Structure 1
Amino acid sequence: MFNTPEALLKYMRDEQVDFLDVRFVDVPGREQHFTLPLSYLSPQLLQAGIAFDGSSIKGFRGIDKSDMLLIPEPHTACLDPFAKHKTLMVTCHVVEPETGNPYLRDPRNIARRAEQHLVSTGIADTAQFGPEVEFFILDSVGYAVSPYSSFFEVQATEAWWTTGKQGNGYNLPQKGGYAPLPPADRYSDLRSDMVKHLESIGIAIELHHHEVASAGQMEIDMRFAPLLTSAEQVLKYKYVVKNTAFQAGKTVTFMPKPFYGDNGSGMHCHQSLWKDGKPLFYDPEGYAELSDLALSYAAGLLYHGPALTALCNPSVNSYRRLVPGYEAPVNLVISAGNRSAVVRIPAFYKGPQHAQDKRIEYRAPDPSANPYLAFSAMLMAGLDGIQQGMKPPTPMDKNVYSLSARESRRIKTLPRTLDDALDELESDHEFLLAGEVFSRDFLDNWIDLKREEAESFRMQTTPKEFEMYYNI
């Protein structure tokens, strides 16, 4: 780890590193990069910032104020496992050249402000996040969209729908992919390759396994880390997973719901608050050993859940996943060890010796979210729950999907579409403005971007509509 630009450049010279790859993230959550040769670098440049065109980055500035600067953060640097030439990759934050101030629309700066706001409340000094990021490994994919034709076609040799073709017979049944042994699990070694690469760049991994969906759904679990670090690791995780698969002749998608009739991919987020190195969510007398503070945090997530979906489930495809029956919860309830609840309290470990493991799991988010924004928004909702003294509803310790229609009508649910989620965010966003973590400008810009995205889907005719309506 490097604390200064000078230390970073000394390492590059000593280890004969050829290039510095500077990375940052746009508003929707896609990483961008520029690559600089060692011969061009100096401490003064890294301190002053690398110039770039902000008007070409989605969600940033217009062309009339397009000049912006990237400031590398040396402590984030690590060697790129995939570069042909020896390359150090480093994460940056964005500043405005006119003022030298952090750019308010930079998602990384929003996460930094979220951590600072947490400290300012005096409630805690650290928010720990442990995301479970799911994805699919596929053999190939093709797609096209035009005014007169649209299609997608996926090849996934382990999928249940390939059983009618010649193969080796080790296909997984629909929704039957959880933790099988090889050869039914075809990608155990490939996941291990991914883990080795992740560990090589400093990301601690707990385990990997095949997930529920048939067509190559996977999960690699990262160890929890402070909010900003955890969000940064999600982006590195995506980069490593995609490139490891690409080197093996495969392709990876983090789409929330690529296939009809099978489970989608979530990003379940385990969360806890700590102060002075001690966990704050454990109480041996509380429900599921949760403290009152933890229950209020969970209540904030449930109360603001509909608005959170606009940031935690920000794609039209997200709402293909948020339907009952596919382990993607839609009912805003809390329960211990219950995967049909939006807020689940893991029930694996009990007792004071596991106080550091006591946490809540918010199961709604998916991998299409920008982790800097999603984690910050969840933290702000939880803090609002604590500050307002909120209490969660009575725990629903049964399968929420099996409730009667009458029982279901009493439960608050997540939005069913991206437009509905944006409506919720427009009416419930004051909690995000506390401590100037999010700005009204950012939220207005986000809503405009996502309204435009949703509108593009409303105007596009799909093959399903031809199937249902062509012959009316």
Structure 2
Amino acid sequence: MSVEKVLQHIQERDIQFVDFRFVDIAGRAHHITLPASEVDESTFEQGVAFDGSSISGFRSVEESDMVMMPDTSATYEDPFMLQPTLNIMCSVHTPDGVQYERDPRSIAQKAEAFLKQSGVGTTAFFAPESEFFIFDDVRFESSMQRSFYSVDSEEAGWNSGREEVGGNLAHKVKVKGGYVPVAPIDSQQDIRNEMVSTMQEIGLRVERHHHEGGTAGHSEINFRFDTLTNSADNLMKYKYIVQNVARKWGKTATFMPKPLFGENGSGMHVHSSIFNGEQPLFYEKGTYGNLSELAMHYIGGLLYHAPALIALTNPSTNSFKRLVPGYEAPVNLVFSRGNRSAAIRIPIAAVTPKGCRVEFRTPDSTANPYLAFAAMLLAGLDGIKRKLDPVALGYGPFDNNIYELPEAVKREVRSVPGTLDEALNALEADSEFLTAGGVFSPDFISNYIQLKRQEAREVSIRVHPHEYSLYYDC
């Protein structure tokens, strides 16, 4: 959409406000709103100024002036505002007009440009499957003398014996028993329907939705694949809609990977493929999983760089409470066709040449999608460039349930890092693949590691409630 068409849309639709948005390093959106009467061609030429020193990890106070540059192809009418509002996603530039090297969206755009320059293909497609929980009540505190969290859900299995207004009607969701039941066990069909309808209203193509495997409102909605930056934009819209529709229903939604102890967590399985024009590059009929040699090298790159990659695809301390055996989490760095216990799965059901893709199951939604998708593409391209063979490197294929393999065999399988600090150590040791083509700068990587180490330290130095259970009577 051109600037002229955006301005025409504002006039024709009687838009009252224009909301300019950007995404920080952690993956959270920020916005500045202008009355529509103040938006003209110069707004799109000059951008919208903001204070970069107030955004964690961006700029120091002596160089704080930053500019949001609107992307006229990334607009939609906000479905939640009382006054008609047009949302526009932006990339961040310095005052002299240069893409800011710490702006995640600019990094995603650079990754797409690097793919074209590499000669491998023209377009990378991504499709994230972002899971979430819907709760009724969430309380938490972390202070000097008290630390706790408490969540509740009317459909949670732990409430089967609770006295409820009007009587307890039972049909609660059992622990690990939430995968695709019908009502009345699935009590949130209407909420997810409204989420889907709202997504469709703003242009997202939704393929399906369902209750996920956990109790207490575990959910998943799948929207259609798109190009790298567009898919990251779409995920930001998706999370915005999920959280605001939940709030409209008097509930709260979280994409936190592991909000409940002893229950399956929420992942963000990411499907990806590369095309050259209209030609899919991952398909070759009759091979393992119908994958081409190029696709196998792409897998080799993902698995070879996985420990470092996970610092970007699973960037929270909570991520590693999901990445433990026994809760359907893909902790083993191997590949397989159709096997959901592998870190990389090759979908084989009803797959066409254009639908042939690789599914990386390790990521979660604490990831900044612009950074995660860009890093995945760069890892795969490095595998293609170096012709990394995942079979020769010992990454599979493993077509049996990995959790049920003999212990001697499992010991030979490489696992994901056990903590955020371990993943950051891996990123420090293996970051060159990210700097190819200037996509990630050394400054960004160093700054990112510093920010994430601070998060890990904030958790590690605090007294944990379970420590009272273990040690109070020592």
What range is the shorter-chain TM-score in? over 0.9
Identity level (%): 48
Q: Secondary structure at the match of 2:263?
A: coil
Deviation (angstroms), 1:306: 0.5
Q: Which residue of 2 aligns with 1:326?
A: 327
Deviation (angstroms), 1:403: 2.0
**Partner residue of 1:121 out of 104, 118, 122:** 118
Instruction: Note if contact 1:286-1:292 (Cα within 8 Å) is conserved in structure 2.
Output: no
Q: CA–CA distance in 2 between the matches of 1:469 and 1:336?
A: 45
Deviation (angstroms), 1:134: 0.2
Q: Secondary structure at the match of 1:238?
A: helix
CA-based RMSD of the aligned residues comes to: 0.8
Q: CA–CA distance in 2 between the matches of 1:23 and 1:327?
A: 35
Q: Secondary structure at the match of 2:271?
A: strand
Deviation (angstroms), 1:29: 0.4
Equivalences for residues 43-54 of structure 1 within 5 A: 43-54=41-52
Q: Tell whether 2:350 aligns with 1:349.
A: yes
Q: CA–CA distance in 2 between the matches of 1:233 and 1:152?
A: 31
Q: Secondary structure at the match of 1:347?
A: coil
Q: Deviations over 1:237-267 (max 9, x none)?
A: 0000000111111100010000011100000
Q: Which residue of 2 aligns with 1:421?
A: 423
The residue type equivalent to 1:47 in the other structure is E
Equivalences for residues 59-458 of structure 1 within 5 A: 59-97=57-95, 99-166=96-163, 167-350=168-351, 354-393=352-391, 394-458=396-460
Q: CA–CA distance in 1 between the matches of 2:199 and 2:106?
A: 24
Q: CA–CA distance in 2 between the matches of 1:461 and 1:425?
A: 28
Deviation (angstroms), 1:391: 0.7
- Runs (4 or more) in structure 1 with deviation over 3 Å come to none
Q: CA–CA distance in 1 between the matches of 2:275 and 2:269?
A: 20
Q: Deviations over 1:89-122 (max 9, x none)?
A: 000011110x311101000000000000000011
Deviation (angstroms), 1:40: 1.3
Q: Deviations over 1:414-471 (max 9, x none)?
A: 1000000000000011000000000000000000000000001111001100011101
Structure 1 unaligned spans of 5+ = none
Q: How many residues align?
A: 466
Instruction: Note if contact 1:136-1:216 (Cα within 8 Å) is conserved in structure 2.
Output: yes
Deviation (angstroms), 1:13: 1.4
User: What TM-score comes out, normalization by structure 2 length?
Assistant: 0.97
Q: CA–CA distance in 2 between the matches of 1:77 and 1:225?
A: 16
Q: Deviations over 1:216-253 (max 9, x none)?
A: 10000011111110011011100000001111111000
Q: Secondary structure at the match of 2:353?
A: helix
The residue type equivalent to 1:128 in the other structure is F
Q: Deviations over 1:149-175 (max 9, x none)?
A: 011111111111111213211111110
The residue type equivalent to 2:270 in the other structure is C
Equivalences for residues 2-13 of structure 1 within 5 A: 2-4=1-3, 6-13=4-11
Deviation (angstroms), 1:347: 1.7
Q: CA–CA distance in 1 between the matches of 2:74 and 2:255?
A: 24
Q: CA–CA distance in 2 between the matches of 1:45 and 1:201?
A: 23
Instruction: Note if contact 1:295-1:392 (Cα within 8 Å) is conserved in structure 2.
Output: yes
Q: Deviations over 1:61-85 (max 9, x none)?
A: 0001000111111111110000010
Q: Secondary structure at the match of 1:75?
A: strand
The residue type equivalent to 1:202 in the other structure is G
Q: Secondary structure at the match of 1:297?
A: helix
Q: CA–CA distance in 2 between the matches of 1:280 and 1:66?
A: 43
The residue type equivalent to 2:473 in the other structure is N
Instruction: Note if contact 1:210-1:219 (Cα within 8 Å) is conserved in structure 2.
Output: yes
The residue type equivalent to 1:447 in the other structure is I
Q: Secondary structure at the match of 2:126?
A: strand
Q: Deviations over 1:195-217 (max 9, x none)?
A: 01111111110000000001110
Q: CA–CA distance in 1 between the matches of 2:359 and 2:319?
A: 18
Q: Secondary structure at the match of 1:74?
A: strand
The residue type equivalent to 2:388 in the other structure is M
Q: Deviations over 1:322-372 (max 9, x none)?
A: 00111111111010110100000112125xxx1111111000000000000
Q: CA–CA distance in 2 between the matches of 1:324 and 1:163?
A: 27
Q: Secondary structure at the match of 2:192?
A: helix
Q: CA–CA distance in 2 between the matches of 1:47 and 1:263?
A: 47
Q: Answer with 318-327 or 8-17: which moved more.
A: 8-17
Structure 2 unaligned spans of 5+ = none
Deviation (angstroms), 1:189: 1.0
Deviation (angstroms), 1:273: 0.6
